[in-house]
Structure 1
Amino acid sequence: MKVSECMSDGVEICSPDDTIRDIARTMREIDVGAMPVGEDDRLVGMITDRDIAIRAIAEGMGPETRVRQVMSQHVRWCYEDEEIDDVADQMAEFKVRRLPVLNRDKRLIGVISLGDVSLADGMSSGRALHEISEPGGMHSQH
């Protein structure tokens, strides 16, 4: 099964110049825990509710802090035509629960989550979840 068959499309994108207050409100309104960050038609980062809590609030940053100050800049992504099993392996390897989905023109067209993978192929998601749950990974807070 291909990523395009089970990803979430219609993804909301934020700007690195948005405030974390505005993004937290948007996350609440659309009921998501992560948003891609785009600038000049390029994917430049991801921000999660955890980034806001751990990298901003816990460090004493205020609600007017800009997304660029706390977002993850090293973004992993996948392509819409990749196989679900391969993407689940990537999620496990990099210990991430969601990946932005790009088309071959490198335009953001969606996001795939561990939940999406689970609905498509329970075996792949079980393996990925086991790996993701191990300590470490790109977004560990040291």
Structure 2
Amino acid sequence: MKVSEKMTRTVRIASPDDTIQHAASAMAESDAGALPVGKDDRLVGMVTDRDIAVRAVAQGKGVDTRVSEVMTQDIKYCFEDDDLDQVASNMGQQQVRRLPVMNREKRLVGILSLGDIAFGEGPQPAGEALSGVSRPGGARSQTGGTGSAHSR
């Protein structure tokens, strides 16, 4: 199965110049924990609810802080024609819960989450990814980036 068969195609995009309050509101409206950050028709980062909590609120930054100050710039992503099982395995190894999905021209076409993988696929690929994501330690950190199949 390909990533394109399970990904969410409707994705809200934040601007690096948006405030974290605007990004948080967009996440709430979309019932999402992350937003891709785009500028000039290119993906330049990801901002998560955790980024806002740890890199802004915990540091005493205000609601007018720009997304660019708290987003993860080291973007990991997958391609829409990648094999879903392989991407799920990579998500577990790299400890990420969601990935932007790109076409081969490196344009954002969706987002893939653990929930997307789990819905209708049964326990195997989602379980492997979840056990990796839930493992303590690893490449993820409170102040650093995430990882998966491909890097920007």
One fold, TM greater than 0.5?
yes
Letter in 2 for 1:38: G
In the TM superposition, what is the alpha-carbon distance from 1:138 to its structure 2 partner? 4.3
Structure 2 match to 1:141: 142
Conservation of the 8 A alpha-carbon contact between 1:6 and 1:120: no
How far apart are residue 18 of structure 1 and its match? 0.4
Could you say which residue in structure 2 is the equivalent of 1:131?
Answer: 132
Runs (4 or more) in structure 1 with deviation over 4 Å come to none
Q: Hey, what does 2:43 align to over in structure 1?
A: 43
CA distance in structure 1 between the partners assigned to 2:94 and 2:75 by the alignment: 10
Count of residues paired in the alignment: 142
Shift, 1:12, TM fit = 0.7
Distance 1:137 1:34 in 2: 20
Give the counterpart letter for 2:116 in structure 1: D
Displacement after TM superposition at 1:137 (Å): 3.9
2:101 corresponds to which residue?
Answer: 101
Unaligned runs of 5+ in 1: none
Per the alignment, residue 147 of structure 2 pairs with none
C-alpha separation between the residues in 2 aligned to 1:39 and 1:138?
26
Residue matched to 1:111: 111
* One-letter code aligned to 2:78: C
1:37 is paired with a residue of what secondary structure?
strand
Instruction: Give 1:29 shift.
Output: 1.2
Which position in structure 2 is the counterpart of 1:88? 88
Conservation of the 8 A alpha-carbon contact between 1:46 and 1:71: yes
CA RMSD of aligned residues (A): 1.2
1:83-128 CA distances to partner (integer Å, 9 max, x unpaired)?
1111101101210000000011110000000011112432011011
Q: Alignment identity in percent?
A: 56
Q: Deviations over 1:56-80 (max 9, x none)?
A: 0010000000001000111110000
> Residue 123 of structure 1 aligns to which amino acid in structure 2?
Q
CA contact (8 A) 1:101 1:111 kept: yes
The one-letter amino acid of 1:134's match is R
